[in-house]
Each structure stands twice: as structure tokens, then as C-alpha cells.
Amino acid sequence: MIEPLSQNLPVSRQCELLGVSRSWYYYKPSERVKGDDRMMLMSEVKKEYLLRPFYGFRRINEAMNRKGLKTSEKCIRRLMKEMGLHAIYPKPKLSSPDKKHKKYPYLLDGVEIMRPNQVWASDITYIRQNGAFVYLVAIIDLYSRKVLSWRISNTLDATFCIEVLKEALGIYGVPETFNTDQGCQFTSCDFISVLEGAKIRISMDGKGRALDNVYVERLWRSLKYENIFLNEYKNLKELKGGVSSYFEFYNSERYHQSLMYLTPDEVYFSGICPEESAQVEAA
């Protein structure tokens, strides 16, 4: 009906006369993968995702092409959406501040941490579980890197943060300073009242200071790459068991380079400075 080689009327004018858009004329329907080829491709995509759950559709598409499968980003994105697969990556505003809550200054600038229970720190991270997210909060002692207490919850209210704080205080005593970010869970009146009741100095990361809580962020990285990504936990019970086992290993068996290859338990319960320990061994 439309003659693209016409010398008298350009394609745009022919489309106008026919009452259709140029995009209609130039549109070419995509070739969808069907049948056995589709099932095979979905299987390969799932295998790649399980190996590298942090890959999005672009990297998985590249992986498929390198395997000799002719795919497109659009095709892989559609298949991943159908299978409910999403790349694992940090989500924005996981712990958003509440403007009504009081914020506290950051107290650790230039402070040398010399002993256990001098400074505790806490943070929240997410873990993907069966297409949804659950949330993990932990408290660590900054001197020894020991995980003192932790909880997993499927909601982001302040309750599980308060529970983990009370547990740590009940087992390990009272720290001098407690550091968190300015998330609404940590600035809530109920959470702050527990700290103030124990006469603990409250320190909070400033806006734009991503490295203020770097030790807890490093814990999350270790947990996810050394445990979560290596195991396919089928339900919340299995996940809690796996995290519990990992933190036991992390505290009592995992050698920390920053602690001169001592474990957090060895440093926390002995109170020995890692540098002093290294000097004794060398002597």
C-alpha cells in the first residue's frame, strides 16, 4: 500500500494520506522465543541468576550471548520479570529519617577506640527471601568487631531494633557510646529512651557520611558473600538458622585481618589490643 521508493510522495505524506503514523509503517514485531527454545533459555537464565544474583538483565543478556545464545536485553528482561527474578542491590532509603524525631551529632570523629564496650554500632540491611525482602539488624562492638545481638524481621518498624538492643545490654552490659545512622527506627522515642535510660552517649552518622558506620557495612558484605549468596534458604526458619550459624562462626572462628588474625571473641573477652598481641607473638 505504501511505496517507499516513490519519487512523488515521501513515506511521511503517504502515511498522512492513509491516516496512519510513520511508526506504524516502520514497526517490526519482535521475534519471541517459543516452545522448547524458550524453556531452555529460561533454564539458562535461572542458572546464571543463581550463580550471580547481583546480575541484572543487561549482564545476564551478555552472559547468554557469550554462551552462543542470541538474545536481547528486552527478551531477558521480559523472561526475568515472568520468573520473578530481580538483581540483588542496595535499595534507596532503607532506613529513612523521620523529620519529627530528634537527631544527635556524630561523636566518633578523632576518637581512638581502645577497649571493648567503648563503642557499639548498629545498622539494618535487607535480605531477599522468596521474592520479598526481610530485614536484619545487628549490634557490633567496634573494638573487637564482635556481633553482640541480631534479629530478622519482615517489617521495618522499630520493635525488632529495640529487642536486639535490650538483648545486647542484658548480656554484655552497657557501652559508653552507641552509634547508628539517622533512620527512623534508631531515632524513635522508644529506641532513644532505652539508650537514655542506660545513660549511653548517643552518636549518629551525619547526612552524606557513608563511611561513619563502615564496620557494620563490612559485616553485611561478609555475611552476604560468605553465606547468603552461597545458600538457597527456602524459608525464614532456614534463613535464621543459617545467619545464626554464620555469626557463631564469625565471632569464634573467622580470623580477621584487621584484628591481626584473631577472632572477635578472642579480642572482646581478653581485651587485648591486636597490635599488642602481634608484638608479644613477634617477641
Q: What's the CA gap between 105 and 202, in Å, rounded?
A: 8
Per-residue CA distances from 149 to 98, 156, 168, 205 (Å): 25, 17, 5, 21
**Average pLDDT over the chain, rounded to an integer:** 84
> In the chain, what is the straight-line distance between the N-terminal and C-terminal CA atoms, in Å?
93
Contact of 131 with 99, CB cutoff 8 Å: no
Where in the chain are the domains? 11-83, 119-282
Burial class (CB in 10 A: 0-12, 13-18, 19+), 126: middle
Grid cell of 150 as nine digits: 541480631
**Long-range pairs for 254-257: beta carbons < 8 A, 24 or more residues apart:** 256/145
What's the confidence (pLDDT) of residue 12? 81
Please give the residue that has the higher pLDDT: either 282 or 169: 169
Contact of 117 with 146, CB cutoff 8 Å: no
Q: What's the average model confidence in pLDDT over 47-58?
A: 87
What's the confidence (pLDDT) of residue 2? 72
Contact of 124 with 94, CB cutoff 8 Å: yes
160, pLDDT greater than 70:
yes
Would you mind telling me the total number of residues written for the chain in this entry?
Answer: 283
> How does pLDDT run across 170-187, given as a tens digit for each residue?
999 999 999 998 888 999
> How does pLDDT run across 204-227, given as a tens digit for each residue?
986 655 555 788 989 999 999 999
CATH of domain 119-282: 3.30.420.10
Give the phi and the psi of residue 246 in degrees, each rounded to 5. -65, -45
What's the confidence (pLDDT) of residue 94? 53
What's the confidence (pLDDT) of residue 21? 81
